[in-house]
Amino acid sequence: MTATGSAQTSSELQTALGAMWGSRDPDVRLQELVNQAPSGSPLLLIDGERREAHSGARFDNVDPTTERVMGSTADAGPEDVEEAIAAARRAFDETTWATDHAFRRRCLEQLHAGLVRVADDLRATAVWEVGAAVRTTHAFHSDFALDLLPWFAELAESYDYDLTLPDQPWAAGTRRLIAREPVGVVAAITPWNFPLYTAMTKIAPALASGNTVILKPAPQTPWHATLLARVVAEETDIPAGVLNIVPTSDNAVAEILTTDRRVDMVHFTGSTAVGRKIITNSAERIGRVALELGGKSANILLDDAPIADIVPVAAGMVCWSAGQGCVLPTRLLVPQDRYDEAVQLATAAYHGIAYGDPRDPLVIQGPQVSAVQRERVLSFIEKGEAEGATLLAGGGIPAHLDTGYFVEPTLFGDVDRNATIAQQEIFGPVLCLMPYRDEADAIALANGTAYGLAGSVFSADQDRAVSVARRVRSGMMSVNGGFFYARDLPVGGYKQSGLGHECGVQGFEEFLETKAIAIGV
């Protein structure tokens, strides 16, 4: 399979799309790796030991590009998860991990060094099990994720865990301080779209702040986590039980982590529907939750924005990672009097998106992660047409690709703001092009969904764009192409897009309890 559509796209557009979010041409070694067959025997990590599941069960890992089974992974059962929870509980309660800040820093620095050494293997794994385009794997599938570790490692030691308040001169007087202490045992449940990055946004701050962790990766993409397990076991001094990794194919087994009273916190990234279930389970045990959920981000092009320059790239962004990103701007809002121009620009761009085999260094869009996900995307496309939207490009399975879970880059126009495809997260390469009347209407349109994760604004007037960004009810906003992912910048959503934050000091503090101490003097 080869890249499709690039001949119809200007070289400038291909360059711009190729450079998005840290994308770059793969070097020779990485290209060789992704063309090899995966090897190894992915195992669980429980109480410091890499091993098979007690039952001996394993589950298949399927290449979404070829639809072939690449290998299998140890499949954790209830008894394995029970042992992981017990190990994490014991490591938190009976060791000095929670109080030895310098030791935690050293262990996280070791983990960073070990993962850097296998960075190309992590990138290749993203191509094999996610279907990520090889040129995009230097971003969230490796560099951005690994960059979190040294920052949180330093914070583990430098953070001021005790804050002294002025004495209170009542009675005999009272000294007062506020102590920040780790929550305890954290269950980290991660999705399949950016498995390494979403794991690091949980593991790095949770461990740095003194917690112990049980990581449950998505069954579609377990090998990122099992490679992490190997590095932890072989190249770090992280004590047994501090980090446990339990891939499982059974959602009922995974749910144990959300109901067990020995788990102090559940940190989840994934769908809003699953987030609701986790909240319900946590209510039963009165446990802390942090949720990074779905999105329906709007990209607002104000009437003074250079539409001819922005529309092609803004449209193409939705095809990055096959549209499988919660922050991707899946609604493109343009002034009504320039809507026809935007349709022409976006349609031309969509006919020129390079998609196909993710091992091809020209490709931007690979396959959906699974047959189930492809069917979900196609069902939304059918719903869009049934509800009256105009299909401008794509809309089906590529006729020229015999294998792989591919969906054509798909563009809809004439989308009613209340239509299903304008309201619900599709998680595929599907863009809704929507006109607005004036600035107030654009903001209302952007805010008119149940989500509030991210968004973008473009304007020739930076102050105006920032003013609009402030009025959009989303946790992250990009102005004129600004990049809101950084290790020191908090990530989180409004409304049904989540609770709490990842990254930044705010993300570190998600994993801390607050204790007030008053001392009579």
Active site positions, annotated: 292, 326
> In sequence order, which ranges of 176-305 are alpha helices (DSSP H)?
195-208, 223-235, 251-259, 272-285
Determine contact, residues 138/126, Cβ cutoff 8 Å. no
> Rounded CA gap, 102 and 298, in Å?
43
- Report residue 135 as tokens: 């040129």
Give the H/E segment covering residue 174. strand 174-182
Residue 11: count of CB within 10 angstroms of its CB: 8
Q: Which stretches does DSSP call E strand in 270-368?
A: 288-292, 298-301, 331-335
In 3-state terms the chain splits into helix, strand, coil percentages (rounded to 5) of 40, 20, 40
Give the H/E segment covering residue 390. strand 390-393
Determine contact, residues 315/350, Cβ cutoff 8 Å. yes
> Rounded CA gap, 432 and 493, in Å?
21
Amino acid at 170: W
- CA 129 from chain centre, in angstroms, equals 15
Determine contact, residues 215/200, Cβ cutoff 8 Å. no
Determine contact, residues 326/295, Cβ cutoff 8 Å. yes
Determine contact, residues 515/179, Cβ cutoff 8 Å. yes
Task: Of 131, 128, 140, give the one whose Cα is nearest residue 33.
Answer: 128
